[in-house]
Amino acid sequence: MLTTTIDLDAIAHNTRTLRAHTEAELMCVVKADAYNHGVERCVPVMEAHGADAFGVATFAEARRVRELTTKPVLAWLWDVSEAIPEGIDVGVPSIAHMRSLIDAPSAPTVYLKVDTGMHRSGIDEERWPEAFELARQAERQGKFAVAGLMTHLSCADDPADPYTDVQAAAFRRAIDQARQAGLEVTRNHAANSPATWTRPDLHFDMVRPGLSLYGLEPVDGLDHGLRPAMTWSAPVVAVKPLRKGEATSYARTWEAPEDGYSAVIPAGYADGVQRAWQGALEVAIGGRTYPQVGRVSMDQIVVWLGSNDAGVAPGDEAVLFGDASAANDATALARRAGTINYEVVCAPRGRTTRTYIGEGV
């Protein structure tokens, strides 16, 4: 009943658009099951339309993507106790991780992750000399091959924030120090989706976009002609009359402002409709938007139809986000709910099923 519909032609268009925007190599980030769009169908489309490599968080994700492509697959979130999968490039976020690779039976290609100011993961600057020397020795011993350095930008979604320049300067220092230590580091990357669009000076050898592949802008107000790929919908299961002053759903948090009608949609927090979205969600039915009212429950939400002059009836499709005709996209929902469009597209789960349209051309 509850469905995400993924437009593969949109995925193809967005990949081509990113490919045309940079001369650097294009690493398509497909972690979290391609941002909840499905790696099995998205990875082949991205590869056909310009992907040079793929990036994921975990080794489990990397194994899954490895089965779908011959392109390099990089994973960067792992524990030192994990076995290194064959054929997977590895992000190295600490000296402890590097030492575990030295003792591993395989000899992977690695990217040293340097912390340039995100202060989340990555090798701290005061330890760069130690890390680069250790990596040089390990490389000479055939323990692994260092392809380049990587880092993550904290504030690139705000192009006016000067902190990105601080991080860029630190990353350039890291590259210089690595080369002085004897590492070639020929494939360096820092740019996420926002930096790919707004900071061509930070493309280095490779860019690493994620969100924009799925058709969403990472910087509010920009428009690069992307096409959102996901629509989340469910059928109306009931239309009920409400009198003025009557309340709906738990805790009676909303009352009908006048006589009218409500629609019941079979989607709740067990399916990914966040309870915090109450009052922010606008559901499109027949190209018109209607406000969600009352508490989000585990299995259902209620939509206020007013007088229902459009004749909404059980069986009609209700779009939680993704109806272009109603300007009801994930970004608009995120703005109203005080969150980000990344979280919105990752939300559908539970009893939501996934279907695909388009041929990926």
pLDDT at 43 over 90: yes
Verify that 26 and 106 share a domain, yes or no. Answer: yes
On whether 120 is known to bind a ligand per the annotation, the reply is yes
**Are 28 and 73 contacting, i.e. CB atoms less than 8 angstroms apart?**
no
Name the helix (H) or strand (E) containing 240.
Answer: strand 238-242
* 358 assigned to some structural domain: no
User: Do 38 and 130 belong to one domain?
Assistant: yes
Q: pLDDT category, 251, cuts 50, 70, 90?
A: very high
| Local confidence band at 117 (pLDDT 50, 70, 90 cut-offs) | very high
Residue 341 within any structural domain of the chain: no
Whichever domain contains 239, its CATH number is 2.40.37.10
- Across the range 47-61, mean pLDDT stands at 98
Q: Which of 31, 35, 111, 214 is catalytic?
A: 31
Q: Answer whether residue 106 shows pLDDT above 90.
A: no
45 lies in the same domain as 130? yes
Question: Is the pLDDT score of 15 beyond 90?
Answer: yes
Please tell me the total count of domains within the chain.
2
Q: Do 31 and 170 sit in the same domain of this protein? A: yes
CA 34 to chain centre: 7
What pLDDT is recorded for position 9? Answer: 98
Q: In this model, does residue 1 exceed pLDDT 90?
A: no
Given a cut of 90, whether residue 107 has pLDDT beyond it is no
The answer as to whether 176 is a domain residue is yes
17, 140: one domain: yes
155 and 269 together in one domain: no
User: Are 93 and 139 members of one domain?
Assistant: yes
**For residue 132, what pLDDT is reported?**
98
Give yes or no: residues 158 and 130 share one domain: yes
What average pLDDT does range 294-312 have in this prediction? 98
Q: Contact at 8 Å (CB) between 291 and 282?
A: yes
- DSSP string for residues in 71-112: S-EEE----TTSPPPTT-EEEE-SHHHHHHHHTSSS--EEEE
Q: Which two structure tokens, joined as six digits, stand for 323? A: 């109806």
Active site residue 269: no
Residue 185 pLDDT > 90 = yes
Of 240, 250, 290, 342, the active-site residue reads: 250
Beta-bridge partner residues of 150: 113, 189
Residue 79: which pLDDT band, with cuts at 50, 70 and 90? Answer: very high
For residues 136 and 43, membership in a common domain is answered with yes
Residues 6+ away with beta carbon under 8 Å from 82: 59
**Domain boundaries, position 288:** 230-328
Residue 104: pLDDT band (50, 70, 90) is confident
Query: 32 and 112: one domain?
Result: yes
Mean confidence (pLDDT) of the chain: 97
The pLDDT value recorded for residue 105 is 87
**What is the per-residue pLDDT for 226?**
97
CA–CA distance, 29 with 51 (Å, rounded to integer)? 10
Catalytic annotation on 214? no
Task: Please report whether residue 361 resides in a domain.
Answer: no
CATH number of the domain bearing residue 166: 3.20.20.10
Q: Find the mean pLDDT for residues 11-40.
A: 98
